Amino acid sequence: MIPEDKVAEIRERSDVLSLIGDYVQLKRAGSSHRGLCPFHAEKTPSFYVHPQRQFFHCFGCRASGDAIAFLMKIESLSFVEALRVLAERAGVEIPTETQARDPQAEREKAHKDKLYAMLDLAAGFYLQQLTKHPHGHIARAEIAARHVEAKTAETYRLGYAPSGWDGLSTYLRERGASLADAEEVGLVAKRRDGSGHYDRFRHRLMFPVADIHGRIVAFSGRALSPPPGEAPSDRVEAKYINSPESAIYTKGELLFGLYEARVEIRREGWALLCEGNFDVLALHQAGLKNVCAPLGTAFTEAQAKLLRRFAGRVTVIFDGDSAGKKAVTAAYPLLAKAGFAGRVVTLPQGMDPDQIVRERGADAVKQLVDTSPGIVEALIDNAAAESSGNAAERATAIEQLGPMLALVESPVERQLYVERVARRFGIQDVEAVRAQLRRGLGDRRGKSGPAPAPKSSVPRTNERVKLPPLESELIGALLDQPELLAAAETEGALELLTSPELQSIFRAAITVVQKRGVLDAGMLLPLLNESVGEGAGRRWLEERLVDPKHDVPQARQIFEDGIKRLREGQQQRQRDQLFRDILEARREGDEQRAQALTKLRDELAKSAIRQGPKG
Ligand SMILES: [Zn+2]
């Protein structure tokens, strides 16, 4: 655990504005900054960051919190992970003694850090070779032939692994880098005769593969046409060579482009999943920046789970050939199990997304994506289109759809799919179709896909309770200008408030301002967890914190007017009460008490008049 005072220090030294500025384009709006929310799709900005209060809030989706909360949400980090990232950014050291020193774990971490540094060094080398090496133009020509713009190439840090056998090895040796480390991550291999190392990636276009923290953990190298004067090698070269697994890279656990796409995926709420590296680049360039791809492997369960951390919906855009269709069929159960709602873009026979973008333009692809059918619909339609007239074959095709439909959770949806199967296969009897589908389930019958964990719904008490308008206006003005909060005369307002929520907010705000000098949202909001909870008061407060409405003179005016009116209201209530008491005394024949109360009421009325004009 990270000690409490460290957490406070990290919180204090973290600047929410510069952190969020790395993800969102912010524009100044009064004392706040405003931009498009990274957590939901929107066209007009409703996402606010208040730098003094170290707080962000979205009026659209109600995401809000401090720097830690932002980082946890946008990068899918735990509280402790987010703290570590912020600590590093802010240059705060976290004492290692506190995490029960484990020499083994520390050695491993140090070793991994060395491997990350090695891959980073290599990426820098490949990037430099793209322009410096005499054969770099071949890689640049390939980039140009694929219509990859310079900016895109830069975003994905494309590079060139030079022809020859020892470009990287020499570079690393000259820098005193460990060739054993380079060997461990598969950049170089030992020569058979034991006389040193040779490069594993030679004359290839290099795609670095980043983990979700943006650290390069592997490379994917694409073959290029041979350098001038060299005969094409008689060996058939693999189109792609990928880094082998290592301490920092496990196959099938990462997605190419996910790091670059993560913010957009979260913002849009869905991810576009394609097959190839160039598809990722082309779709990104076409404006579909929420795109990623499995790395040279079939889509895996681990990848589905990883992606699920960022979005709830996925659209698959695989090649329009039979391999592509098979890949969709294979991906579906994994997506369903991870709880994804899936759609699938069917491309014309023999085309891949990269080609479509090049030949038909960005809009054509977007159109295909926008109008893509649900993945189950597409699987049914494909199965029907591909099965011939042969009755036995058609029966088998239906049977094979059984397990897929079993993964559909909603009974209504499942029923609609069964009807679709009947329609597409031209069968009148829906019950017969159902029976055939069941046969496909075999002994799995009855065990439909695991239900995803129910979403925890935040209890919203007091959701419909409105705050009294005059009181919230007054407290709002004070929150806008905390210097007024600290002034002595404002405390008198406390006894005039009738809303317990506003009383709690007011009291907590005074405490925070007295302690911090500013209205620090990160300190204020936790103070209110119990008294205000998730109700209307909290929502009102969050919105007010990021979007103050009044400057000091206005706020003072509103406060003074408000106090006066609240006091008048209070006195009116007192007079009403007295009036009722007088009536009651008379009814009971207690003339003496009635007269005393009347006198009191007249005095109250007089003092109200005296106070009136002065305020
Ligand atoms: Zn939002």
Does 289 score more than 60 pLDDT?
Answer: yes
At 457 the pLDDT is 35
Mean pLDDT, residues 8-33 taken together: 89
| 58 CA to centre of ligand 1 in angstroms | 5
| 47 CA to centre of ligand 1 in angstroms | 6
| 70 CA to centre of ligand 1 in angstroms | 12
Using a 10 angstrom Cβ sphere, with 0-12 exposed, 13-18 middle and 19 or more buried, the burial of residue 386 is exposed
Exposure of 287 in the CB half-sphere (CA atoms within 13 A): 9
CA distance linking residue 314 with residue 335, whole number of Å: 8
More confident residue, 611 or 124: 124
Cβ of 308: how many Cβ atoms within 10 Å? Answer: 18
From start to end of 456-520, where are the E strands?
Answer: none
Q: Of 53-62, 158-167, 385-394, 604-613, which gets the smallest average pLDDT?
A: 604-613
CA 29 to chain centroid: 24
| 232 CA to centre of ligand 1 in angstroms | 54
| 45 CA to centre of ligand 1 in angstroms | 9
Would you place residue 463 in the very low, low, confident or very high pLDDT band (cuts 50, 70, 90)? very low
| 71 CA to centre of ligand 1 in angstroms | 15
Q: Quote the mean pLDDT of the chain.
A: 87
Does 395 score more than 50 pLDDT?
Answer: yes
| 57 CA to centre of ligand 1 in angstroms | 8
Residues in Cβ contact with 573 at an 8 Å cutoff, skipping those fewer than 6 apart: none
CA distance linking residue 507 with residue 558, whole number of Å: 19
| 35 CA to centre of ligand 1 in angstroms | 10
| 463 CA to centre of ligand 1 in angstroms | 19
Cβ of 614: how many Cβ atoms within 10 Å? Answer: 6
| 62 CA to centre of ligand 1 in angstroms | 6
Would you place residue 606 in the very low, low, confident or very high pLDDT band (cuts 50, 70, 90)? confident
Q: Of 220-224, 235-239, 373-377, 416-420, which gets the smallest average pLDDT?
A: 235-239
| 256 CA to centre of ligand 1 in angstroms | 26
| 60 CA to centre of ligand 1 in angstroms | 5
| 455 CA to centre of ligand 1 in angstroms | 19
Residue carrying structure tokens 């009291």: 507
| 294 CA to centre of ligand 1 in angstroms | 29
Q: What phi and psi, each to the nearest 5 degrees, are found at residue 425?
A: -90, 0
| 64 CA to centre of ligand 1 in angstroms | 9
pTM: 0.70
| 269 CA to centre of ligand 1 in angstroms | 11
| 25 CA to centre of ligand 1 in angstroms | 14
Does 376 score more than 90 pLDDT?
Answer: yes
| 228 CA to centre of ligand 1 in angstroms | 54
| 358 CA to centre of ligand 1 in angstroms | 33
Which residue in 237, 177, 171, 241 sits closest to 209, CA to CA? 241
At 610 the pLDDT is 64
Using CA atoms of 258, 259, 261, 265 in order, give the dihedral in degrees to the nearest 10: 80
| 76 CA to centre of ligand 1 in angstroms | 16
Find out whether 261 and 334 touch, Cβ atoms under 8 Å.
no
Query: Which tokens is 395 given?
Result: 């029966």
| 473 CA to centre of ligand 1 in angstroms | 25
Mean pLDDT, residues 198-220 taken together: 95
Does 401 score more than 60 pLDDT?
Answer: yes
Query: Which tokens is 471 given?
Result: 């009181």
Starting at the edge strand that comes first in sequence, how are the strands of the sheet with 255-256 ordered? Answer: 255-256, 291-294, 270-274, 313-317, 341-344
Mean pLDDT, residues 454-476 taken together: 62
| DSSP string for 247-282 | TTB-TTS-EETHHHHHHHHHHHTEEEEESSHHHHHH
CA distance linking residue 510 with residue 519, whole number of Å: 9
At 233 the pLDDT is 64
| 55 CA to centre of ligand 1 in angstroms | 14
pLDDT tens readout for residues 52-103: 888 999 998 999 999 999 999 888 888 988 998 999 888 888 776 545 567 8
| 267 CA to centre of ligand 1 in angstroms | 8
CA distance linking residue 278 with residue 315, whole number of Å: 17
Q: Of 309-318, 464-473, 514-523, which gets the smallest average pLDDT?
A: 464-473
269 sits in the region (left: phi over 0; alpha: psi -120 to 50; else beta) called: left
| 372 CA to centre of ligand 1 in angstroms | 26
CA distance linking residue 399 with residue 418, whole number of Å: 12
More confident residue, 201 or 393: 201
Mean pLDDT, residues 34-61 taken together: 91
194 sits in the region (left: phi over 0; alpha: psi -120 to 50; else beta) called: left
| 15 CA to centre of ligand 1 in angstroms | 20
Does 242 score more than 90 pLDDT?
Answer: yes
At 109 the pLDDT is 86
| 146 CA to centre of ligand 1 in angstroms | 36
CA distance linking residue 380 with residue 425, whole number of Å: 9
For the chain, give the percent of residues with pLDDT over 90. Answer: 43
| 85 CA to centre of ligand 1 in angstroms | 23
521 sits in the region (left: phi over 0; alpha: psi -120 to 50; else beta) called: alpha
| 160 CA to centre of ligand 1 in angstroms | 40
CA distance linking residue 289 with residue 270, whole number of Å: 11
| 340 CA to centre of ligand 1 in angstroms | 21
| 87 CA to centre of ligand 1 in angstroms | 26
Does 475 score more than 50 pLDDT?
Answer: yes
| 266 CA to centre of ligand 1 in angstroms | 10
Find out whether 334 and 300 touch, Cβ atoms under 8 Å.
yes
| 24 CA to centre of ligand 1 in angstroms | 12
Q: At what angle do helices 4-13 and 79-90 cross, to 10 degrees?
A: 60
| 547 CA to centre of ligand 1 in angstroms | 15
End-to-end alpha-carbon separation of the chain, Å?
54
Exposure of 473 in the CB half-sphere (CA atoms within 13 A): 14
| 48 CA to centre of ligand 1 in angstroms | 10
At 572 the pLDDT is 83
Find out whether 374 and 416 touch, Cβ atoms under 8 Å.
no
At 593 the pLDDT is 86
Query: Which tokens is 405 given?
Result: 């439909």
Does 454 score more than 90 pLDDT?
Answer: no
Would you place residue 209 in the very low, low, confident or very high pLDDT band (cuts 50, 70, 90)? very high
| 379 CA to centre of ligand 1 in angstroms | 34
| 268 CA to centre of ligand 1 in angstroms | 10
Does 453 score more than 80 pLDDT?
Answer: no
Q: Of 74-78, 402-406, 446-450, 526-530, which gets the smallest average pLDDT?
A: 446-450
| 20 CA to centre of ligand 1 in angstroms | 13
CA distance linking residue 112 with residue 483, whole number of Å: 50
CA distance linking residue 142 with residue 135, whole number of Å: 12
Q: Which amino acid is at 159?
A: G
Query: Which tokens is 154 given?
Result: 């830069």
| 39 CA to centre of ligand 1 in angstroms | 5
| 215 CA to centre of ligand 1 in angstroms | 28
| 38 CA to centre of ligand 1 in angstroms | 7
CA distances in angstroms from 256 to 143, 166, 278, listed in the order given: 17, 27, 10
CA distance linking residue 9 with residue 90, whole number of Å: 10
Which residue in 181, 320, 206, 183 sits closest to 256, CA to CA? 206
| 293 CA to centre of ligand 1 in angstroms | 26
For the chain, give the percent of residues with pLDDT over 70. Answer: 93
Q: What phi and psi, each to the nearest 5 degrees, are found at residue 159?
A: -145, -175
| 307 CA to centre of ligand 1 in angstroms | 20
Mean pLDDT, residues 308-314 taken together: 90
| 42 CA to centre of ligand 1 in angstroms | 8
CA distances in angstroms from 523 to 18, 400, 428, 461, listed in the order given: 20, 57, 66, 22
| 542 CA to centre of ligand 1 in angstroms | 13
